[in-house]
């Protein structure tokens, strides 16, 4: 392979010239294939599941969700490949623009947003509704990592920590006000992840952790007690009901109870088309937030464990890319993306299995939804880019 390094346009072609392969030309030669397989495997499983489980959901068009998810998957994969070929380091330079776009798009939802079930989260576009906060997860990581690198020498450690927190929590607060509790939590976690790999001292995390604990206590216990609830009633109930599902069996805990029943009923090998829990509306939002319960019921432990394994694979490769990154920006971005994916996966699956509260966090690459699917693929593409750049730098080559 070192022949490439010495090859120049002006030299006479060597007799044993190796032809540049298609993968090389597309910039895919140094993609992380396990990561790609994990991501494409998940979206394929998602489309497969939706195709089977939502046939009766939209009257007259049994493949409604399947077709749409397939289109999103294709768009997402194209986006991932494009992202793979871009040197992610460019985003560091664009951090201010990205950050501004992030905050603006999230804020504009309040003005032009499409209201669904009492919250404004997305723009209604001709073919689909675009939810800026989904893409925002990636944008926040890209921008914040840039700010961290950029401001690494300015101010004291405490000042830096406070600055990062403010930069991260501002969009998180906007999303929280939409209201979208789940996504705002993802923003907070993404911020903490970037800070974590940005070298914020352990002591600061201890303080932040303590502060978070106090905040949770304030929001969930103290504020309602003094009559100034910070959360809407349903949010409060959702967050606390998982602690005692039976008590809320017909209220907020109902969805969770049904989801747990569905998953459990799948047993070892699943119920296939007999999966009545998820086919008959017992489990709500079965094509989005509760798709894991659908998988659990239809395909059993084998299917659900397979899906979990793919997430584990993705996270492992993402973490590996963190260690391979050619620069600090790559470390922060890869770390941020990795933790964001891990957090979303754990919160969503945990919610489906009844061990985490109900927060509207989609399961990456499984839940139906264009914004989430495409944004996640773009994030995976950024990971690929970091991987590709790392390989190229080791070989002394730069991107095209």
Phi then psi dihedrals of residue 198, to 5 deg: -80, 5
Q: Is 272 an interacting residue with respect to another protein (CB under 8 A)?
A: no
**DSSP assignment, residue 151?**
T
Closest CA to 173 of 194, 187, 159: 187
CA distance 147 to 328: 12
User: What separation in angstroms does the CA of 326 have from each of 25, 103, 117, 282, 396?
Assistant: 22, 29, 45, 49, 11
Report the nearest approach of another protein to the CB of residue 285 (Å).
12
Choices 77-85, 133-141, 190-198, 230-238; region in contact with another protein by CB under 8 A? 190-198
Q: Which residues lie closer than 8 Å to 141 by C-beta, 6 or more apart?
A: 190, 193, 194, 332, 333, 336, 337, 340, 379
Report the nearest approach of another protein to the CB of residue 61 (Å).
15
Environment class of 2 (CB within 10 Å of its CB; exposed 0-12, middle 13-18, buried 19+)? exposed
Number of other residues whose CB lies within 10 A of the CB of residue 284: 16
CA distance 167 to 275: 45
Choices 75-83, 136-144, 147-155, 164-172; region in contact with another protein by CB under 8 A? 147-155
Report the nearest approach of another protein to the CB of residue 196 (Å).
6
Residues of this chain, 376-395, that bind another protein according to CB under 8 A = none
**DSSP assignment, residue 30?**
T
CB 9 within 8 A of CB 17: no
Report the nearest approach of another protein to the CB of residue 82 (Å).
23
Q: Is 268 an interacting residue with respect to another protein (CB under 8 A)?
A: yes
Which residue among 80, 172, 189, 304 contacts another protein (CB under 8 A)?
304
Q: State CA 358 to chain mean position distance.
A: 17
Residues of this chain, 198-217, that bind another protein according to CB under 8 A = 198-199
Q: Is 149 an interacting residue with respect to another protein (CB under 8 A)?
A: yes
Choices 31-39, 47-55, 311-319, 366-374; region in contact with another protein by CB under 8 A? 311-319
Residues 86-125 vs another protein: string with x where CB under 8 A?
A: ---x------------------------------------
3-state secondary structure of 35: helix
Nearer to another protein, 51 or 264 (CB): 264
Instruction: Sheet containing 114-116: give its strands across.
Output: 114-116, 119-124, 129-130
Q: Is 308 an interacting residue with respect to another protein (CB under 8 A)?
A: yes
Residues of this chain, 334-363, that bind another protein according to CB under 8 A = 335, 338-339, 342, 346, 349-350, 353-355
Choices 21-29, 30-38, 212-220, 303-311; region in contact with another protein by CB under 8 A? 303-311
Q: Is 144 an interacting residue with respect to another protein (CB under 8 A)?
A: no
Q: Is 296 an interacting residue with respect to another protein (CB under 8 A)?
A: yes
CB 79 within 8 A of CB 49: no
CB 95 within 8 A of CB 332: no
Residues 31-70 vs another protein: string with x where CB under 8 A?
A: -------------------------x--------------
Nearer to another protein, 172 or 275 (CB): 275
User: What separation in angstroms does the CA of 193 have from each of 7, 199, 347?
Assistant: 41, 10, 16
CB 34 within 8 A of CB 310: no
Nearer to another protein, 107 or 163 (CB): 163
Which residue among 331, 374, 379, 388 contacts another protein (CB under 8 A)?
331
Nearer to another protein, 187 or 299 (CB): 299
Phi then psi dihedrals of residue 130, to 5 deg: -100, 125
CB 257 within 8 A of CB 284: no
Residues of this chain, 244-263, that bind another protein according to CB under 8 A = 250, 254, 258, 260-263
Structure tokens of 112? 């032009």
Report the nearest approach of another protein to the CB of residue 140 (Å).
18
Nearer to another protein, 178 or 389 (CB): 389
Q: Is 9 an interacting residue with respect to another protein (CB under 8 A)?
A: no
Residues within the interface to another protein (CB under 8 A): 56, 89, 149, 152-153, 196-199, 250, 254, 258, 260-268, 271, 276-277, 280-282, 284, 296-297, 300-301, 304-305, 308, 311-312, 315, 319, 322-323, 327-329, 331, 335, 338-339, 342, 346, 349-350, 353-355
């Amino acid at each position: 392979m070192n022949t490439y390094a010495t090859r120049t346009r002006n030299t006479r072609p060597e007799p044993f010239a190796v032809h540049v392969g298609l993968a090389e030309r597309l910039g895919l030669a140094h993609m992380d294939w396990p990561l790609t397989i994990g991501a494409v495997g998940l979206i394929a499983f998602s489309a497969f599941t939706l195709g089977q489980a939502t046939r009766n959901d939209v009257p007259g068009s049994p493949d409604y969700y399947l077709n749409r998810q397939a289109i999103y998957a294709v768009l997402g994969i194209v986006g991932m490949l494009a992202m793979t070929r871009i040197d992610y380091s460019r985003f560091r330079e664009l951090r201010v623009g990205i950050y501004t776009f992030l905050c603006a798009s999230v804020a504009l939802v309040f003005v032009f947003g499409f209201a669904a079930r009492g919250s404004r989260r997305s723009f209604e576009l001709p073919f689909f509704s675009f939810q800026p906060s989904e893409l925002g997860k990636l944008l926040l990581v890209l921008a914040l990592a840039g700010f961290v690198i950029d401001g690494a020498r300015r101010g004291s450690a405490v000042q830096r920590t406070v600055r990062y927190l403010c930069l991260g929590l501002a969009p998180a607060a906007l999303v929280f006000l939409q209201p979208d509790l789940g996504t705002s939590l993802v923003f907070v976690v993404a911020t903490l992840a970037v800070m974590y790999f940005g070298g914020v001292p352990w002591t600061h995390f201890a303080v932040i952790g303590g502060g978070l604990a106090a905040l949770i206590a304030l929001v969930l216990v103290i504020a309602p007690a003094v009559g100034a609830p910070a959360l809407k009633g349903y949010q409060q109930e959702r967050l606390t009901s998982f602690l005692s599902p039976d008590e809320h069996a017909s209220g907020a805990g109902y969805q969770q109870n049904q989801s747990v029943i569905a998953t459990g009923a799948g047993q070892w090998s699943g119920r296939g088309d007999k999966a009545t829990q998820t086919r008959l509306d017992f489990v709500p939002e079965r094509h989005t937030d509760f798709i894991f319960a659908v998988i659990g019921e239809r395909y059993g432990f084998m299917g659900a464990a397979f899906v979990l394994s793919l997430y584990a694979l993705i996270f492992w490769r993402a973490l590996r890319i963190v260690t391979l990154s050619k620069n600090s920006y790559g470390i922060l971005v890869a770390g941020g993306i990795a933790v964001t994916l891990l957090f979303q996966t754990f919160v969503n699956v945990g919610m489906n299995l009844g061990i985490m509260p109900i927060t509207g966090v989609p399961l990456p690459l499984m839940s139906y939804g264009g914004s989430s699917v495409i944004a996640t693929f773009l994030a995976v593409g950024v990971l690929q880019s970091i991987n590709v750049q790392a390989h190229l730098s080791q070989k002394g080559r730069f991107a095209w």
